[in-house]
Amino acid sequence: MPASETPLVLLHRDGRLATLEINRPEARNALSFPALLQLRECLAELREDSSVWAVVLTGAGDKAFCAGADLKERRSMSEGEVKEFVRNIRATMDDIAGLPQPTIAAMNGHAFGGGCEMALSCDLRLLASHAMIGLTETSLGIIPGAGGCVRLPRLVGAAKAKHLILTAKRCSAEEAKSMGLVHEIADAADFATATSTMVQSLLANGPLALRAAKAAIDGSLDMTMDQALEHEASCYQRIIPTADRLEALAAFGAKRKPNFQGK
């Protein structure tokens, strides 16, 4: 990307935290093809960065977290280009879900279509109280194609997911929280503080333990009980030889907070 062009995705680093910000507020942070590619580049960088303990995804401005695919761009695409776009948007959501670090979708505005699918790909979800969220694709003659038809029923159950997807329902923040679609909601004035609180609740814990716990949960979802328990045990084994585990034991004995180093 030429130096004179404004990045479509901003990567902010603040100590152990990385924040990815979709930077298209004039388009309600819709996902254009160039934005998708920039987002995937950032995700690839973060995946290999052990100094990052948690990742936040958010949108620029205060009107929308992400409005989903850029429909203005979509109108100019050939059928083949649409197929390539759908392949890439699904791969992007898989990239998010596949990050070893815990992730937070800080939805400071509306999250529809691909924006909702992006949130579903994250581990934790925070939604502004004025915002709405939903998989609205059927109202456009398509279906959620970036994991929404798979991740939503696993989160809220098949019956509720069918109702939301087939009716293209836009849920209020309160509705979304009541069904478990989002974990927390916050007023706009308190949103930054609520995001920081959620981030700190992660960063206070052992980063290697966070990665191992996430791997244990995600990796066991399609396993039998016996397989899942074995997988959990293998994830635990990663933690035993770490300095962080010994530091936590020492801190417990000394009645102080552990000083985790990610080692």
User: Catalytic: 45?
Assistant: no
Nearest-Å Rg of the Cα atoms of the chain is 19
Contact call for residues 203 and 53 (beta carbons, < 8 A): yes
Q: Which of 18, 35, 60, 69 is catalytic?
A: 69
User: Catalytic: 79?
Assistant: no
Closest CA to 35 of 109, 89, 104, 91: 89
User: Catalytic: 114?
Assistant: yes
Helices and strands per DSSP (H, E), number in the chain: 11, 10
Q: Which of 54, 109, 113, 117 is catalytic?
A: 117
User: Catalytic: 64?
Assistant: no
Q: Which of 137, 147, 206, 209 is catalytic?
A: 137
> How far apart are alpha carbons 189 and 128 in whole angstroms?
9
Instruction: Kindly list the strands in the beta sheet with 124-128, ordered across the sheet, starting from the edge strand earlier in the chain.
Output: 9-14, 17-22, 54-59, 103-107, 124-128, 184-186
> How far apart are alpha carbons 85 and 49 in whole angstroms?
27
Q: Which of 109, 114, 134, 145 is catalytic?
A: 114
Which residues are the active-site residues?
A: 69, 114, 117, 137
